[in-house]
């Protein structure tokens, strides 16, 4: 039986993906800062799920927590680097620099730290890594500033990982979704249910289930197949084109 470690399993894509992999017969290690959410998921999913309270920005504590995984969950075959967030929707200069630092610490530093910590196991087991990038890492938009930049980092780090892992049998994917419902916009707007409803209502966005199914597919492809990067959007979302400002 294979084991997947999913960061950010307390909500959104991560939680649905934990459900999908347990349903498919994998063991799942789910992480996040909210202990009560992990307990709820553990009650729901049973013995196939092991929750670990973990803040990906606390690298020292993260390494200790991974070192303490119970033996039956310690052999990680697939790492899903899903934990991440956007903070703020305003274009510069109307931004909080501390929000920028939190996004950088979580989406980039946390992601590379947990990847580095699990690489020996993943190489030994010829495992896989799915990194959550975003359309925001490729398509610029006003207000995307540092969030989009962190996701461009995730995409390029994923491709560079592939280059470094050449010949080792480890698969790496940069997964780049567009607009999807989850707690993402609530977090981004620091709790505005109105902003959440306005963005998604009537837009028929991607769902966390869509992302879970996509990750299940990637994670269960034959071992010789690598999806380098995969961008997906809801049909309702497309491209705005370039703008010109006239004096
Ligand atoms: P949610 O807000 O629903 O879930 C985010 C998850 O990340 C939560 O489980 C949260 O757990 C966890 N997380 C955030 N910060 C930390 C931290 N410091 N340490 C540990 N865990 C953390 O968002 P989504 O499910 O939508 O997002 C999942 C990923 O997908 C993110 O990387 C996001 O950037 C990306 N993405 C989202 C899109 C969207 O439109 N929704 C589109 C493209 C990409 P907790 O708070 O308990 O710590
Ligand atoms: C989230 C997608 O378009 O809201 O990564 O920035 S978007």
Domain assignment present for residue 119? The answer is: yes
The answer to whether the beta carbons of residues 148 and 176 sit under 8 Å apart is: no
Domain assignment present for residue 246? The answer is: no
Q: How many domains does the chain have?
A: 1
Ligand 2 contact via 136 beta carbon (within 6 Å):
yes
Residue 15: CATH number of its domain: 3.40.50.720
The boundaries of the domain holding residue 64 are 3-232
Domain assignment present for residue 238? The answer is: no
Domain assignment present for residue 96? The answer is: yes
Domain assignment present for residue 93? The answer is: yes
- The pick from 184, 211, 233 for probing ligand 2's pocket by mutation, whose C-beta has the most ligand atoms within 8 angstroms, reads 184
Domain assignment present for residue 13? The answer is: yes
Q: How far apart are CA 208 and CA 213, in angstroms?
A: 9
Domain assignment present for residue 240? The answer is: no
Ligand 1 contact via 95 beta carbon (within 6 Å):
no
Ligand 2 contact via 179 beta carbon (within 6 Å):
yes
pLDDT per residue as tens, the chain (247 positions): 999 999 999 999 999 999 999 999 999 999 999 999 999 999 999 999 999 999 999 999 999 999 999 999 999 999 999 999 999 999 999 999 999 999 999 999 999 999 999 999 999 999 999 999 999 999 999 999 999 999 999 999 999 999 999 999 999 999 999 999 999 999 999 999 999 999 999 999 999 999 999 999 999 999 999 999 999 999 999 999 999 999 9
Domain assignment present for residue 241? The answer is: no
147 included as an active-site residue: yes
Atom 44 of ligand 1, nearest CA residue: 134
Paired tokens of 143: 């207000």
Q: What pLDDT is recorded for position 245? A: 97
Q: Considering the entire predicted model, what is its pTM? A: 0.98
- The pick from 136, 139, 174, 211 for probing ligand 2's pocket by mutation, whose C-beta has the most ligand atoms within 8 angstroms, reads 136
Q: For residue 174, what is the enclosing H or E element?
A: strand 171-177
Give which of 54, 53, 56, 30 is closest to 42, Cα–Cα: 30
Can you tell me which residue has the tokens 């938009």?
A: 141
């Amino acid at each position: 039986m294979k084991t997947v470690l999913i960061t950010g399993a307390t909500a959104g894509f991560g939680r649905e993906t934990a459900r999908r992999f347990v349903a498919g017969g994998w063991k799942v290690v789910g992480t996040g800062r909210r202990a009560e959410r992990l307990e709820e998921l553990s009650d729901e999913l049973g013995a196939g799920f092991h929750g670990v309270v973990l803040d990906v920005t606390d690298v020292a504590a993260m390494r200790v927590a991974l070192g303490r995984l119970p033996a039956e969950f310690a052999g990680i075959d697939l790492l899903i680097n899903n934990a991440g967030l956007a903070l703020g929707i305003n274009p510069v200069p109307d931004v909080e620099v501390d929000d920028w630092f939190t996004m950088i610490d979580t989406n980039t530093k946390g992601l590379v730290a947990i990847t580095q910590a699990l690489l020996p196991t993943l190489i030994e087991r010829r495992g896989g890594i799915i990194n959550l990038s975003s359309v925001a890492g490729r398509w610029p938009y006003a207000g995307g500033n540092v969030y989009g930049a962190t996701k461009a980092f995730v995409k390029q780090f994923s491709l560079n990982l592939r280059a470094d892992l050449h010949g080792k049998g480890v698969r790496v994917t940069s997964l780049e979704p567009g607009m999807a419902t989850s707690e993402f916009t609530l977090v981004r707007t620091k709790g505005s249910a109105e902003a959440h409803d306005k963005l998604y209502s009537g837009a028929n966005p991607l769902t966390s289930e869509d992302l879970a199914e996509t990750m299940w597919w990637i994670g269960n492809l034959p071992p010789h197949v690598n999806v380098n990067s995969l961008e997906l959007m809801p049909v309702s979302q497309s491209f705005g084109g370039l703008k010109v400002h006239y004096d």
